[in-house]
Amino acid sequence: MGKLNGKTAVITGAANGIGKATAAVFAEEGAEVVCADVNENDLLETVSSINNNNGKAASVKLDVSSESSVQEFAEHVKSTYGTIDVLFNNAGIDQEGGKLHEYPVELFDQIMSVDLRGTFLVSKYIIPLMLENGGSIINVSSMSGLAADLDRSGYNAAKGGITNMTKAMAIDYGRNKIRANALAPGTIETPLVDDLAGSQEEESGRQFREAQKWVTPMGRLGDPREMATVALFLASDDSSFVTGETILADGGLMA
Ligand code: NAI
Task: Identify the structural domains of the chain with CATH numbers, from first to last.
Answer: 8-186+222-246 (3.40.50.720)
C-alpha torsion sign, points 24, 194, 43, 66:
positive
Mutate to test the pocket of ligand 1, among 93, 144, 200, 225 (most ligand atoms within 8 A of CB): 93
Residue nearest to atom 17 of ligand 1 (CA): 63
C-alpha torsion sign, points 232, 235, 240, 242:
positive
* pLDDT for position 1: 81
Phi, psi of 12 (to 5 degrees): -95, 155
- Measured distance CA(78)–CA(80) in Å, rounded: 6
Distance 157 CA to ligand 1 centre (A): 16
| DSSP 8-state secondary structure symbol assigned to residue 222 | B
pLDDT (tens digit, 0 to 9) for every residue of the chain, 255 residues total?
A: 899 999 999 999 999 999 999 999 999 999 999 999 999 999 999 999 999 999 999 999 999 999 999 999 999 999 999 999 999 999 999 999 999 999 999 999 999 999 999 999 999 999 999 999 999 999 999 999 999 999 999 999 999 999 999 999 999 999 999 999 999 999 999 999 999 999 999 999 999 999 999 999 999 999 999 999 999 999 999 999 999 999 999 999 999
155 classed as catalytic:
yes
H-helix or E-strand spanning residue 203: helix 203-215
Distance 115 CA to ligand 1 centre (A): 9
How confident is the model over 114-145, as pLDDT tens digits? Answer: 999 999 999 999 999 999 999 999 999 999 99
Sheet holding 86-89, edge to edge: 56-61, 32-37, 8-12, 86-89, 135-140, 178-185, 246-249
Q: Note whether 85 and 133 are within 8 A (CB).
A: yes
pTM here? 0.98
ipTM confidence score: 0.99
- Measured distance CA(247)–CA(255) in Å, rounded: 13
Task: Out of 81, 125, 155, 173, pick the active-site residue.
Answer: 155
Q: Which residues line ligand 1 (CB under 6 A)?
A: 12-13, 15-19, 37-39, 42, 62-65, 90-94, 114, 118, 140, 142, 185, 187-188, 190-193
